[in-house]
Structures are given as C-alpha cells and as structure tokens.
Structure 1
C-alpha cells in the first residue's frame, strides 16, 4: 500500500531562479508523483516586478494565487488581475503571460514530471 508524502512549510522557502527567462521568475517542484505514465507535480511559482514572462504550456496546469498579485493574460486576449484566492486552469498548448506590479506567488499542480517546466 503506497504511503502519503509530506513536505512541511513550503511557503516562505527560497525558490530557485528560472534562468531561461529574463523575468524575475522563481519556481520549485516540491512533490512529484511516482506515476511515470501520468505524472503530477506540485510546487510554487513566484514572479517579482520587472519584465513580464510568457510561457507556452506543454501540459495541463492548475494554479492558485496564494499571495501578492499577477496580471495574467492568454493568447486569446483574455486578461485577469489575479489576487489571493484566484484559481486558474491552463490547458496544454495555451500561451500565458504573467506580470506583476510588486510580486505574485502561486501554488501549482501540473500534469508533468519533475523539472519539466
């Protein structure tokens, strides 16, 4: 019988920089499923003021805004001023642009393996 996995106190941890982007973007995968056919990865994404970041999803992701604020837009022209408690679903193939006046922190669950962001 599989055992649960626990990661304590992930809020407030320092996140590694997403070096492939010019934006002040940071991300860490904290929990990864062991299902290689249908992986699930959960973690935190932080963006700080400065350059916006555009990302094309190759997997499905759900993101909950846990702190700060984001301006999130997609390639259809839809834009949302996102704050704490807002929930998003980004389908595979969507191109999303993130920006923030100060900072934003999101908790995500993505249908991908570890480090495949």
Structure 2
C-alpha cells in the first residue's frame, strides 16, 4: 500500500444549496418555472453529479429528455410525472424515490410546488 492510497478521504457537507437555484432557460423550457443546480459536479473524478430541482406550478409541463441515468428523491410537494411514449403517469410525493433510465422522456408538472434532490450518472456539462 502506498502512502497516497492510505490517505484518508474527507467527505463533504454543503448547506443551503437548494436556495436560490438558477432558473432553467425560458428558450428551452417555455411556459415553465423550473430551477436546477448541481451541488457536486463530478467531485474528485466521480461519474456522478447531484443537486436540487425545484418546480413551480404553471399551465405548461416541463419536458425533459434524459441523456443519462438519474435518481430523484422528492423532498417537498409533489411531481406529476408523465411519459407519453409509454403512457405511464404517476404522482411522486414527499419522500418518494424515482429512477429515470437513460432515454426517458418525461413531462413534469406540479399542482403547486415541488423540490427534489437528484443524482445523475453524467458529466457536469449535460445539465
């Protein structure tokens, strides 16, 4: 075992990262109010990114096509999720875990407000 491999690795804690998330571009997500931001972008070469996604009620759903596998945990509110290709519709509520396989085409909406934490197996440039 080398000295470098024996070095203890430190974990990270980031507070309040869910506050003041950047708004998703109106040009890509017209008529919606989605906010998203990575907290950790491929830390130490990890193949994962993680952060927060917030959605506010609008008349238009937010459409997102996944180019990577992602998991979300709903923290507050509820998401109405629809995959029009498969006909699948479900309501994901606080404390529910969600998995979106790469290639999923999802319409997100909410009756009021929803906040989730996500982890995606992707490069930071794909957000």
TM-score, normalized by length of structure 1?
0.89
Q: Which residue of 2 aligns with 1:98?
A: 108
Match of 1:63 in 2: 72
Which residue, out of 5, 13, 16, partners 1:6? Answer: 13
Give the Å deviation of 1:5: 2.1
Return the alpha-carbon distance in structure 1 between the equivalents of residues 53 and 99 of structure 2: 15
| Paired residues for 1:71-90 under 5 Å | 71-74=80-83, 75-90=85-100
Q: Deviations over 1:13-53 (max 9, x none)?
A: 11100102121010010012232xx6201100011011201
Runs of 4+ in 1 over 3 A off after TM superposition: none
For normalisation by structure 2, the TM-score amounts to: 0.83
- 1:53 is aligned to 62
Q: Which of 34, 50, 60 does residue 42 from structure 1 map onto?
A: 50
Q: How does 1:11-30 map to 2 (within 5 A)?
A: 11=18, 13-19=19-25, 20-22=28-30, 23-30=32-39
Consecutive unaligned residues of structure 1, counting only runs of 5 or more, are none
| RMSD of aligned Cα (Å) | 1.4
Deviations 1:56-101 (A, max 9, x none): 1000000010001110112311111111011110010111110011
